[in-house]
Structure 1
Amino acid sequence: MLSKPFDKPVRVWVGLGFPRQLNTVVDAYQFAVDWCGNSPEQKAAIRACKAALVGDVDAETARGVFVAFARRKDILVEDGEIPPVIGNSRPTHA
């Protein structure tokens, strides 16, 4: 049950606008398990990560499902989105 790194890390917002980088399937699995909620997207992310951990799917498949979960919950740090240097909230989208 070894976790392979993602080709490209996933960054998510945590707390009061702080980014967290998830580099592996284990990172994404732990984040999804710890996330407060019980949505279908969260369950799918957990299942995909579990499947990747046992070798049923590759890490990039699990990453894609996890990214869909994070995007749906509006916690995905999109490419080009710069985390705030000072402040306590996420940047707003125009």
Structure 2
Amino acid sequence: MLAQPFSKPVRVWVGLGFPRQLNTVADAYQFTMEWCGNSPEQRAAIRACRAALAGDIDAETARGVLVAFARKKDILVQDGAAPPPAESGQQRHV
């Protein structure tokens, strides 16, 4: 089921500090596949999304792995937070 929704959307910073809301496993899979990089956290998020899309794990498990990836890359939008500074050296989604 491609449209497996998350209980709560995950918001991430993209581009030049614009937030993007990921509502479903499919959204998260697309985002992680398009992200520039190849970190262990990114690969884990991709694997988790694939497993959720295949029905091997639930959407909330995949969401947790996605959140861990976003935290590690400093792109998780916290309520009321400003985007991370552009000079932080973090890779950005293109």
Fold equivalence (TM over 0.5): yes
Residue 48 of structure 2 corresponds to residue 48 of structure 1 = yes
Q: Secondary structure at the match of 2:6?
A: strand
Name the SS for the 2:27 alignment partner: helix
SS in 1 for 2:77: coil
| Higher fraction of helix | 2
**3-state SS of 1:68 partner:** helix
Identity within the alignment, %: 76
User: CA 1:91–1:75 in structure 2 vs 1: closer, same or farther (change >3 Å)?
Assistant: closer
Give 1:22's aligned residue: 22
Determine if the alignment matches structure 1 residue 13 to structure 2 residue 21: no
Cross-structure match for 2:88: none
Using structure 2 for the length normalisation, give the TM-score: 0.84
Once the two structures are TM-superposed, the CA of residue 74 in structure 1 deviates from its matched residue by 0.3
Tell me how far apart the structure 2 counterparts of residues 60 and 13 of structure 1 sit (CA, whole Å): 20
Could you tell me how far 1:3 is from its partner in structure 2?
2.7
For the Cα contact (< 8 Å) 2:5–2:23, is it kept in 1? Answer: yes
SS at match of 1:8: strand
Q: Which residue of 2 aligns with 1:81?
A: 80
Structure 1 unaligned regions, length at least 5: 84-89
| Greater C-alpha Rg | 1
Match of 1:75, SS?
coil
1:36 corresponding residue in structure 2: 36
Runs of 4 or more consecutive aligned structure 1 residues displaced over 3 Å after TM superposition: none
Over aligned residues, Cα RMSD in angstroms? 1.4
Unaligned stretches of 5+ in structure 2? 86-94
What is the TM-score of this pair, normalised by structure 1?
A: 0.84
